[in-house]
Amino acid sequence: MNAALIVVLVLVVLVIIVVARSVRIVPQARAGVVERLGRYQRTCNAGLNLLLPFVDRMRPMIDLREQVVSFPPQPVITEDNLVVNIDTVVYFQVTDPRSATYEIANYIQAIEQLTITTLRNAVGSMDLEAALTGRDHINSQLRGVLDEATGKWGVRVNRVEIKAIDPPDSIKESMEQQMRADRNKRAAILTAEGVKQSAILTAEGEKQSAILSAQGQREAEILRAEGQAKAIATVFTAIHEGNPDPALLAYQYLEALPKVASYGSTMVIVPSEVTTAMQKISEGFAKSQ
């Protein structure tokens, strides 16, 4: 009984081992390379996969999703002999698990070294200003070289981004001083433009005010002259229509003499017509007596 029980237990353990080595479940977005007796046999996709126990062996699964690798800053010498530290990020994806397994030992390390080499070649032919402003050009150049080189490794480089380009501290101070000078210059220009526009607007306002004031004075004088002309015409018409005799005119003149004297005038001019009229008034009074 004990021997039979031991045999049964051994068979159960063997079955469990055979099943464990025969069944492989590959998760989604993963791939497993199967080797049979040390040689490539097939690539297992997501799902349940059966292997020949003790004959087939599945290598570590490969992630088929897009991966992001950030490399540490690398010192690069520009064309004008300045050392800058460039920090890069590479987005890539494994498209052929077999090539990624057998064509390259470590594709991540290979991508890193290739990125560094290509980056130094690209930035080495540019000066600092071009490198700082030409990130898109550097990114496209890196992507083209990496995509061409990693194609045979079963890897596709989707995007290469430069996170930072750090120039030396002395260059940073010079750039900050230049930027500060540019800002001060723009501020001075804007202030001068504002003063200029303010002066122009003030002069225009004063000009318009002077024009309007002159026009108002001219119209007032015209209206005043027209009023005086109408008043004179009215008086002239009334006098001619009334046909006053010299005696009446002399009487009116006599009434106006006190007003003339009130202005402090010491000399009064008497027209000859008024003198004649007064003589006639005297003659009238004499006849009536």
Digitized pLDDT (tens) for each residue of the chain, 289 residues in all: 577 777 778 787 887 887 777 888 899 999 999 999 889 999 999 988 988 888 888 999 999 999 998 888 888 888 888 888 888 899 999 999 999 999 998 988 998 888 888 888 888 888 888 888 888 888 888 888 888 888 889 999 888 888 888 887 766 666 677 777 777 888 888 888 888 888 888 888 888 888 888 888 888 888 887 877 777 677 667 666 666 555 555 556 556 556 555 555 555 555 555 566 556 555 555 555 5
Phi, psi for 269 (deg, rounded to 5)? -95, 125
Residues 44 and 94 reside in one and the same domain: no
Residues 79 and 106 reside in one and the same domain: yes
Burial label for 94, CB within 10 Å (0-12, 13-18, 19+), is buried
Residues 122 and 36 reside in one and the same domain: no
Which residues span the domain enclosing 277? Answer: 245-288
Look at residue 42 and tell me if it is in a domain.
yes
Look at residue 239 and tell me if it is in a domain.
no
Residues 51 and 83 reside in one and the same domain: no
Look at residue 127 and tell me if it is in a domain.
yes
H-helix segments, the chain: 2-22, 97-102, 107-124, 128-133, 135-150, 169-242, 246-262, 272-288
Considering its fold, how many domains does the chain have in total?
3
Which of these three, 132, 167, 202, is where a domain ends?
167
Look at residue 41 and tell me if it is in a domain.
yes
Look at residue 20 and tell me if it is in a domain.
yes
Residue 18 burial (CB count, 10 A): 13
Using DSSP, state whether 23 is helix, strand or coil: strand
Look at residue 219 and tell me if it is in a domain.
no
Residues 149 and 130 reside in one and the same domain: yes
What CA–CA distance (Å, rounded) separates 206 from 125? Answer: 61
